[in-house]
Amino acid sequence: MRVHVRPFQTDDYAAMAALNNANFPEFEEFADEFKIQDEQRPAHCRAGRWVAADPTGRVVGFAEYDQHVTTYHPRFFNLEVVVEPACIGHGIGRHLWRVLVDAVGAHDPLSVDMWTREDMPCRVAFLEHRGFVPDMRIWSSELDLTRFDPAPFAPAVEAALGQGFQIRSLAELRGSDPDVERKLYALWCEVHDDVPIPPGQEQQHRTFDDWRRRNLLNPTLFPEAYFVARDGDAYVGTTQLWRAPDASRLRTGLTGVRRPFRRRGLALALKVHALAFAKAQGFGSVCTENASTNVGMLAVNEQLGFVRRPAWVHYAASWEALGGT
């Protein structure tokens, strides 16, 4: 298939989102989310993006490299190549890959990585043929809210809250706690430290301003569905539901509890509270993802009725092993 690869332009965001959502519906995003991520990327994080257009000008693929602020290393790069499903197998991915590799090579990389779903044989073969090796898996799961009944979990929720904890939404806290944003940031930093990441990477904290822009000013923020567990005035746990392009669906954000308060039923109580809220509001489903090593949260989600989808696999390669090919 004949295509022209050119640098990404600002009017390509809608096409990029459509390609992403067609390939990865469990991680669908609004076009504005991609735009805001680009606008808010810290200056030290390098990034580049190209699109492949057919002879009519229609965008049928894109490729990009990036450096995530939460796992930043000056010589580690995250890669992505996405092709319209109907056009896979026509050489578009190879063409985009060549442009991508040439661009990344200019930054003297040590390591590159890319994620793929295990049931995408073309992507898996594409990566393994080029020397990538799998080193981490996450499970994407979905809960049908029409089948979810919070009643059986009421005793467990009551037992957790009976220890003196309270669950409040961000919408409520904004009207009652002048320090809500700083407290949420401190909670996020502590809980985020324990989120599993691929081998060889290290957690990096966002600054408060960066965290605030990416969370509290995010267009998908749903303040009424952003829940916090409190012990007195202290914030000790959280779970959030975020809006998705599919208006009937919500996406789970970070769920976690500060270490001194774990194994007291708070994570389950927070999840049940959030899911009951979503069901009452008429949403049809909630999706989430968890590392395969996060046994505790996987068990909570299975208990709640989440159904696993095909796993996502993290592939990594040293630049030397990749050979720039």
Is 324's pLDDT higher than 70?
no
CA distances from 64 to 50, 132, 197, 276, 323 (A): 6, 17, 21, 38, 19
User: What are the residues whose beta carbons fall under 8 Å from the beta carbon of 262, sequence distance 6 or more?
Assistant: none
**Domain 4-109 listed as CATH 3.10.580.10:** no
Question: How does the average pLDDT of the chain come out, rounded?
Answer: 95
Yes or no: say if 304 and 143 are a contact pair by the CB < 8 Å rule: yes
User: Within 13 Å of residue 111, how many CA atoms lie on the same side as its CB?
Assistant: 17
Yes or no: say if 256 and 194 are a contact pair by the CB < 8 Å rule: yes
Q: What is the pLDDT of residue 325?
A: 52
**Architecture of the domain made up of 141-308:** 3-Layer(aba) Sandwich (3.40)
From-to residues of CATH 3.40.630.30 in the chain: 4-109, 141-308
Q: Residue 288: which H helix or E strand, with range?
A: strand 285-291
Is 205's pLDDT higher than 90?
no
Q: What is the pLDDT of residues 97-109, one digit of tens each?
A: 999 999 999 999 9
49 forms beta bridges with 64
Q: What is the pLDDT of residue 308?
A: 96
Yes or no: say if 151 and 145 are a contact pair by the CB < 8 Å rule: no
Least confident of 5-9, 268-272, 292-296: 292-296
The average pLDDT across 83-105 equals: 95
pLDDT-based confidence at residue 323 (cuts at 50, 70, 90):
confident
Q: What is the pLDDT of residues 224-272, one digit of tens each?
A: 999 999 999 999 999 999 999 999 999 999 999 999 999 999 999 999 9
Q: What is the pLDDT of residues 130-164, one digit of tens each?
A: 999 999 999 999 999 999 999 999 999 999 999 99
Q: What is the pLDDT of residue 1?
A: 79
Is 322's pLDDT higher than 90?
no
